Amino acid sequence: MLALGTGFFDADGAPTLDNLLALGDPVVLTTFGNSIALSALTAVLGALLGAVVSYALLGARPEGALRSVVDAASGVLAQFGGVPLAFAFIATMGLNGLVTVFLKTTLGLDPYADGIWFYEMPGLILPYLYFQVPLMVIVFLPALEALRPQWVEANATLGGTRLAYWRHIGLPVLAPSFIGSLLLLFANAFSAYATAAAIISQGSQIVPLQIRAALTSETVLGRANLAGALALGMIVVMVVVMSAYSLLERRASRWQR
């Protein structure tokens, strides 16, 4: 396994600057822009929605049926996701999807009147949210549950209201975990490949798809290392995000002992 680990670093080895220059290519830059925008958008929406769901689950018995089901379902959607999710959304929002047909026949609305955006970038937003929200529940719920009952009691004894509790205690304590989870969601969306690959079969609007194109392309000969350069670019983004995450995690763990 170690050999594989080092092999991965060798892949970008002998870094001639040519490959790195490819990262400055306007097309590549646009793709990175797309990827980052998509990841950021779904991370923020996913984090907010996920936080609301986690809040709703707060106080449910950890051994209870509700929690067991939600935990397992979140795990499936967040980790098993990928291809099945893509197909679920094709069945939902594809041209003959359940929701598309419903909108058309029942409400007389055509969501694709201005072109079929589902198989392009915007179409990825909903499927991505579908695995972002469960991930948020998985990573954020423990933080939420680590809020001590004593703090609520202290707040109550001092005459604080519910609002005061959340404003002065809950939210400040949770802020680092929330932002940390947000970063994790960003990283998750940024590195997701399967869903996008199954929905978008042509074109390379986001970085992972561009790596696919670079790896499998039969026409762009002589740029075999472009995939390596793109991968390097992705790693740079990931390293930045994940080091910020570990910093925040350390800050957050202060309250989770």
Partner 1 sequence: MSGAPKTSAAVRPTRARAARPVTAVPSRATRAVILAVVGVLFAIPLLALVEFTLRGGLQGGYTLDHWIAVFSGGLDRSYKPLWDGLGNSLVLAIVTVLLMLVLLVPTMILVRLRFPRLHRPLEFLCLLPVTIPAIVLVVGLAPVYSVIARMFGSGTWTLAFAYGILALPYAYRAIQSNLVAVDVATLSEAARSLGAGWPTVLATVILPNLRRGLLAAAFISIAVVLGEFTIASLLSRTNLQTAIVLVSKQDPYTAYIVILLSLVFAFLLLFAIGRIGGRTRRSVS
Binding mask 145-164 for partner 1 (x = CB under 8 A): --x-x--xx-xxx-x-xx--
In angstroms, what is the minimal distance from the CB of 45 to partner 1? 12
- Binding residue for partner 1 (CB under 8 A) from 44, 87, 112, 121? 87
**Is residue 109 part of the contact set for partner 1 (CB under 8 A)?**
no
Nearer to partner 1, 135 or 176 (CB): 135
Phi and psi angles of residue 206, each rounded to the nearest 5 degrees, phi first: -125, 165
3-state secondary structure of 14: coil
Burial class (CB in 10 A: 0-12, 13-18, 19+), 236: exposed
Residues 4-43 that bind partner 1 (CB under 8 A): 4-5, 7-12
Query: Minimum distance between the CB of residue 72 and partner 1, rounded to whole angstroms?
Result: 4
Compute the least distance from the CB of residue 71 to partner 1, in Å: 5
Q: What CA dihedral angle connects 23, 26, 32 and 33, to 10 degrees?
A: 150
- Of residues 43 through 82, those in contact with partner 1 by CB under 8 A are 49, 52-53, 55-60, 62-63, 68-69, 71-73, 75-77, 79-82
- Does 138 sit near partner 1 (CB under 8 A)? no
CB 175 within 8 A of CB 255: no
CB count within 10 Å of CB 192 equals: 24
- Site residues for partner 1, 161-200, by CB under 8 A, read 161-162, 165-166, 170, 187, 190-194, 197-198
Helix/strand/coil (H/E/C) assignment for every residue in 184-228:
HHHHHHHHCCHHHHHHCCCCCCCHHHHHHHHHHCCCCCCCCCHHH
